[in-house]
Structure 1
């Protein structure tokens, strides 16, 4: 079953309230990023789409549910927590939560009048109704709170117009720690500065809302004085009438004057270490004679309209357009990087996507005990790829154009039956058809959820507060992209000794022989809350079967995309979180989270008549698909062994080499552990995050190259265990937002933070780079061949809010 695998980055960019912020990240799957995926705040019109590289940014509140949707993938729902805002948000899960920091004294007085202890309960377990319109109704405008039966009534200050904004300025120093390199020579890299400026301004009222975000990021790269620039502007405009309309516009630009095209950054590192006597001259020559520039531009705009026919039936439509352009320019002088003649290349990739959604939602009761929610969503997507590659090697020009289009229609029907707020059954089916691939009209999904604490009130206590047990089964399909973006295969035609001739011109496109990838999955999950909802335990076990996986196959010196393998997956995820453990006087606050992930993946069947399929690496050592083994097992030269697995030697005691390449390593780790802690005392806050991996084999090709490419590959297999101190953050809030002010100041919050990222890494071998892969490929885990080292960053951040 195909699913969205990764939301790779959760960063704080601007916070308007302590409960509200912006989450940015990247959606990926096995083949690379997911452009055009939709991320929506459930129950609202607030949404966005991923750009050309799968990047997204969305503003939301703590307690919101992010719905991630992509054609042929399982729809994922993720609850926004305070941890996603770096610990600055306030979770709504506790039965009695002090909502602070408070924006004004009037809101504080309103809270004092409120007698009900369960003001902001957990949405999944509370009988209270809540508004889905989280737009302009900010907490600072609440005048009075009144609870009648199961409804919370909020009274707001006049006038209805409200203005807020924030400024976020960050100055950072970036460098490479010498401990992250294979030896102590760190002369290639330099310490550089990076500046980030973000501004947000909103004007909202009962009928109209508008938000404009602008950001500018500039800096230097770590190799020379070339700069990188990122610019982004986005706007959200909404008007509430009989048919509420929301218009969203977003544009961004990124320029990298030393991109890793053709693995250029890896080649710089290689030149630094292989010939240390003249590496500086060689590296300087490469920097001065080679151009490696990448420019990316993104634009998207959407129009959303909703209309309620009656209270139980809602209609919603959304149309959007996305345009992404990537331009890569590469130039090498004659006699450098393996090119006998002068070499230049320019690659331009432009993608256009138009998407239109129409959905109908119903919500009604068929008895006092049974409620039914239904939804029908029709989605039409038009994709176009304009590709142009121009290459000149000496006097021989080469031009490769391509123009591909694809149309997709997807229909999803969903029904949820709610029995007395403790038993929920959801049934759905997806029908999918494509203009270039076959159709699949029956893609069922089902989930059963049981809340025993709502069914049996007697089991609840001050210690045990909440439980939710669920079982899910689903089938999915995944269509093939017009352009295969995973370039990990490109070096399979060369040896490590000839790596300077590496070129990423081998782009692969959709071909009509590809079938839909199909999948099935089964998941059992449990969620528990203890000690007045302050301790949360989430456990999930997942099994998946994926069929007809698409990989590049090398045949006759040419790569072709084919449905190559079926895989199986077993995964266990456990997360224990404690929120806002307070001291008696509430001055001290502690939040912590620890997660454990253990995953096992096997190739259940090869669909190509070959004993193994290389997917990444070199011609002599590579990662492979082999039946019964983990995807990506490392195959290379190995020691000859006897029947008792002892290494065989010659008469001089030298180890013998096996006649054929063997499996010498498995990159899949035993497990991963993440730990984060946030401590606060009054207006001071301190937080840190640790990342630990146990096991996972790595081929240390960097060390083999330094030793002159001599030796057996098996002798360069390393233990991938590492511990990384990912971040330390200390911050201080200069404005006491709990003070009894008679008026609101212009600046409601001023926060200074000092932070550091990747400041220390402990690994089983020197030069390990846990977050880098071979030539930045998506399928090259377990390969270390002058991979880009971990970048450390230390900086100061100032956030001002009005």
Structure 2
């Protein structure tokens, strides 16, 4: 009986399983919009499960389900639709506009999500694919040209370039002007843009002004870049992102090819020089080295070598592999990613290797939601060091290599025919290959971040949240300088070729930041017309750092860089900093009938960098947003206006001083100390300022948002004006006080600007779509005041080329040594025909653009897509240090324009002896060789050039494979592409040497070029993305 029952049960179960499988089937169909055009990228989810898919380029999809299942179709800007699976295996969907979602949801301060129509300030959002299309390693460079009001400069080039990120111009004379970077609600340093894995990013919201960022406190006075990382959602998926990129030198300075080395003092040949003031090239064999140990001399033809300087550089490459695993449902999410990047530079031996890892998850249970985000970053950098003989960097040595000397012949300086440094050809400086082999800067950087949050929904309208973040970074640095020696018979024959010993310097730096926010969030409809959103919270931020440096000279073991092997003096220092800040804040938004919104913010901070009795300061703001298209429905037309919003905002924010600005500090005195067992300390030469207060910025912003033709064309226009007062600047004081300067609150800067974002779909059909985006930035900064009796402040630069702030003038400006000019602006020459240098340096122009235009386009045809980004900057100048360098040595093309003969200086005049000036048509310069050009080189206005540039920043040609093909091989998504970055750069004819973005500092002294760089480069490569 038991056996019979078991058999019946088995048959029954088999029948049930058969029915179940019989009910499962594949549902397919096409999703289109109201005009009948297919919609690619529509999300389709099987409700209650993690199973899902997306439509392909033709709007087609397929998904396994069974009768009675509920399918959800969602797409940004369109109403989400749910369909119950019936008897048919085909489900076609037509999606319609969702007026409630036309205003996108954006992430604002403190990670609070708001409908864009509620905001009274400008916010721009970039999605992940806008950042990752051309596989830029650095997120900052991937954002260039895509956001109005945002200026990103690549300050130098190389395997790990530095960038400067500024929103709406400079607000502070000497303080920080860069935007605050926030990752998942956690304030970070600007360097996080260089380190974060772009594939981890879901979106980037740019809060452009202080108006948008009052809740973040003083660090947000310059605007905020909010990065939200991806979360796990939908069915379990694995995505691989891979790319290979090659990098080549794009261009070098233009060199003259007529004259060779020599020229001191009479222009004759002197082959062991690098200055090209010698005779014309004639092809004869000339000496190219000192006498070698065997009595021979290296000889080469006295003729220019094509691309000689470019031959030094190599083709660099970057290889990236990234894997992301994610999945989730309505209550759970999990994401794990790992990314490996390996870069070799165009400079021999330069490398950069980095690893990114992220683990992120969340869990919801009834009214409680908790989550965490852990990330780790590790990078090893090995690049050529700074400075050799006379502190000349590598690039200076490369571009000043004589035109006839085959630079690649110097490569095997250790084991080649010509060993040691006499084959550097020039007794003042080293062989460039010796520099890249023996002068290295190596660093290891480790960053660990952990974020945690908990949200508890107390009622339907009140939520309590706590967010805690901790970051720890460790940087170890090592600088190596190889010993520089000559053959014995050459040592001490000239003071310039005396040998120097090997040396090394080590540094270790640790930094930690803890940030916590406790918030109460109130969101309630008081009635059918009025909604109130109120957030109040408490913030605590703790920052600690410690840095130790030690160096030693005259190391005794070759190629072993350890301070313990020194015979010279051991030098070291240690620096420790601690900073605390506490803040309380509130944010209120009152909405009326969902078309008018009144908002207000307030925050008070207590900062440890301010005086103990005066360490509290308050900022506040308010705004109004009015959605006219919803308040007055008659404004909306199907063939015309579809959306209209106007807004205005007024905000005051603060920027507290740097560390120890209000306290006296001491440093170890190395002048005569230690004396026996006595250690000496020196007090800072800056007097403490116990009454120092923060810098404050008051901003007024007004904006207009319009949508036309069912939002097929959208426009955002914003105008703003901000005044930054109580600037923190040093002023000179009497030396009798025992110090030379003191920090005080003085000065005011005014910023004005207009921003325009224009996006539209030009053409759209079944197989074709053409999208275009344009952004325009007009920005002006002016110094209103500095201090009584002071109308100028030096910001940085060099003695002969200074960046300054001057009352009544745009900020910043560059002032250089200059020519004496007559009332008509002509250069005044003397009786010898040579220009006369002015005794006073003169302002040459502003060093930030008047306006920036960014243009992007995306053309899709069937499965093919062509994407491009370009930007144009103009209205500014920069000091071209590279031309200065090669004109000093006579290698520039310009230095040979007169054939090294006397000439009439262009646009010049001379005194008539009675106070007037006569146009110069016959007074020739005293010469055309070294004597003249040496004086010409002293006048730096000759090297201030137009900084206008037009760059093709990004190009991508990609192909997305058909979903019908991918389904057969078990792949959800597959795309391949060819990309390029910085492929084309157009500059004025007067700038034929370098990229005006390059700068000698990442600070406020913008507009001073540098020789401490790598040549401008272009990148091109291929990419593959595959999801299972």
* TM-score, normalised relative to structure 2: 0.61
Per-residue CA distance 1:746-793 (angstroms, 9 max, x = gap): 321110010011111110134454464333433232222335432211
The CA distance in 1 between the partners of 2:361 and 2:233, in whole Å, is 16
Tell me if the contact between 2:181 and 2:190 (Cα under 8 Å) persists in the aligned partners: no
Q: 1:701 and 1:342 mapped to 2: Cα distance?
A: 29
Structure 1 residues 57 and 540, CA gap change in structure 2 (3 angstroms)? farther
Matched ranges for 1:55-454 at <5 A: 55=193, 56=196, 70-72=216-218, 73-74=220-221, 138=234, 162-178=235-251, 185-241=309-365, 242-258=367-383, 267-276=393-402, 281=424, 282-333=431-482, 342-392=502-552, 395-437=568-610, 438-454=614-630
Residues 717-796 of structure 1: pairs in structure 2 closer than 5 A: 717-734=944-961, 736-737=962-963, 739=964, 746-764=970-988, 765-770=990-995, 772-786=997-1011, 787-796=1013-1022
Alpha-carbon deviation of 1:707? 1.5
- CA deviations 1:432-472 (Å, max 9, x no partner) are 11123143443111111111101100010021100111111
Alpha-carbon offset, residue 408 of structure 1 = 0.5
Instruction: Describe the superposition over 1:413-432 as per-residue Cα deviations: whole angstroms up to 9, x where unpaired.
Output: 11111111111110111111
Residue 561 of structure 1: how far off its partner (Å)? 7.1
Say whether the 8 Å CA contact 2:324–2:338 is kept in structure 1.
yes
- 8 A contact 1:480–1:510 mirrored in 2: no
SS of structure 2 residue aligned to 1:705: helix
Give distance in 1, aligned partners of 2:1027 and 2:237: 7
Partner residue in 2 for 1:53: 191
Structure 2 partner of 1:573:
755
Q: 1:199 to 1:52 in 2, by over 3 A?
A: same
Partner residue of 2:716 out of 538, 541, 546: 538
How far apart, in 1, do the equivalents of 2:128 and 2:741 lie?
36
Deviation at 1:635, TM superposition (A): 1.3
Is residue 854 of structure 2 the alignment partner of residue 674 of structure 1? Answer: yes
| Aligned partner of residue 178 in structure 1, secondary structure | coil
Q: Greater shift after overlay, 198-207 or 306-315? A: 198-207
Deviations, residues 213-246 of structure 1 (Å, cap 9, x unaligned) = 1000002121113421011101102111142110
SS of the aligned residue for 1:187 comes to helix
Tell me if 1:798 matches 2:947. Answer: no
Change (3 A) 1:27 1:361: farther
2:884 corresponds, among 701, 704, 714, to 704
- Which structure has the larger Rg? 2
- 1:34 and 1:50 in contact (8 A); partners too: no
Deviates more, 1:651-660 or 1:419-428: 651-660
- CA, structure 1 residues 471+619, in 2 after alignment: closer, same or farther (shift >3 Å)? same
Provide the rounded CA distance (Å) in 1 between the counterparts of 2:1009 and 2:205: 40
2:770·2:860 contact (CA, 8 Å) conserved in 1? yes
In the alignment, the residues of structure 2 paired with residue 510 and residue 240 of structure 1 have an alpha-carbon distance, to the nearest angstrom, of: 55
Change over 3 Å in CA distance of 1:206–1:367 after alignment to 2: closer
CA contact (8 A) 2:945 2:991 kept: no
Matched, 1:665 2:837: no
TM superposition shift of 1:9: 12
Aligned match for 1:457, one of 633, 637, 656:
633
CA 678–262 in structure 1, closer or farther in 2 if over 3 Å, else same = farther
Cα RMSD over matched residues?
Answer: 3.9
Aligned-residue offset at 1:290: 0.5
1:535–1:414: structure 2 CA closer, same or farther, 3 Å change rule? same
Give 1:347 deviation, angstroms.
Answer: 2.9
Alignment deviations for residues 43-85 of structure 1 (CA, whole Å, 9 cap, x no partner) = xxxx5553572425685667989897743125968899xxx99
Whether the aligned pair in 2 keeps the contact of 1:670 and 1:696 (CA below 8 Å) is yes
Aligned partners of 2:216 and 2:686: how far apart in 1? 20
| Structure 1 position 477 matched with structure 2 position 654 | yes
Question: Do 1:530 and 1:536's aligned partners in 2 also have CA atoms closer than 8 Å?
Answer: yes
The alpha carbon displacement at 1:397 in A equals 2.7
C-alpha distance in 1 between matches for 2:542 and 2:238: 36
Q: Helix, strand or coil: the match of 1:783?
A: coil
Q: Show structure 2 runs of 5+ residues with no match.
A: 1-120, 134-138, 144-162, 257-306, 411-423, 425-430, 486-495, 555-567, 662-683, 889-933
Number of positions where the alignment pairs a residue of Structure 1 with one of Structure 2: 689
Q: Does 1:683 align with 2:854?
A: no
Q: Deviations over 1:151-189 (max 9, x none)?
A: xxxxxxxxxxx3012100001101111257778531232
Deviation, structure 1 residue 611: 5.0
The structural deviation recorded for 1:407 is 1.1
The equivalent residue for 2:105 is none
Q: Against the structure 1 CA distance between its residues 483 and 284, is the aligned structure 2 distance closer, same or farther, given a 3 Å change threshold?
A: farther
Gaps of 5+ in 1: 16-20, 41-46, 86-133, 139-161, 485-506
Worse-matched range after superposition: 655-664 or 333-342: 333-342
Q: In structure 2, what is the Cα distance between the partners aligned to 1:367 and 1:771?
A: 58
The residue aligned with 1:499 is: none
* Distance (whole Å) between structure 2 residues aligned to residue 559 and residue 261 of structure 1: 31
The Cα shift of 1:543 comes to 0.8
Distance 1:607 1:8 in 2: 42
3-state SS, counterpart of residue 638 of structure 1: coil
Asked if the contact 2:125–2:204 (Cα under 8 Å) also holds between the matched residues in 1, the reply is no
CA distance in 2, matches of 1:274, 1:530: 57
Shift of residue 329 of structure 1? 2.1
Q: CA deviation at 1:540?
A: 0.9
Is residue 2:820 matched to residue 1:640? Answer: yes
Distance 1:192 1:229, change over 3 A: same
What's the TM-score once normalised by structure 1's chain length? 0.77
SS in 1 for 2:368: coil
> 1:476-535: per-residue Cα shift (whole Å, max 9, x none)?
112345499xxxxxxxxxxxxxxxxxxxxxx99997655422111111111111111111
Asked if the contact 2:384–2:440 (Cα under 8 Å) also holds between the matched residues in 1, the reply is no
Report how far residue 375 of structure 1 moved.
Answer: 0.6
Q: 2:784 aligns with which of 595, 604, 615?
A: 604
- Give 1:381 deviation, angstroms: 0.6
What is the CA-CA distance between 1:554 and the residue it aligns to? 9.2
Q: Could you tell me how far apart the structure 1 residues matched to 2:384 and 2:597 are?
A: 50
Shift of 1:326: 2.4
SS in structure 1 opposite 2:383? coil
Provide the residue aligned with 2:931 in structure 1. Answer: none
Q: Report if the CA contact (8 A) 1:450-1:470 is conserved.
A: yes
Which whole-Å deviations, capped at 9, do the CAs of 1:609-633 have from their partners, x for residues lacking one? 7553322221222211222222331
Give how far 1:545 is off: 1.1
What is the SS of the residue equivalent to 1:284?
A: helix
Q: Is 301-310 or 174-183 further displaced after alignment?
A: 174-183
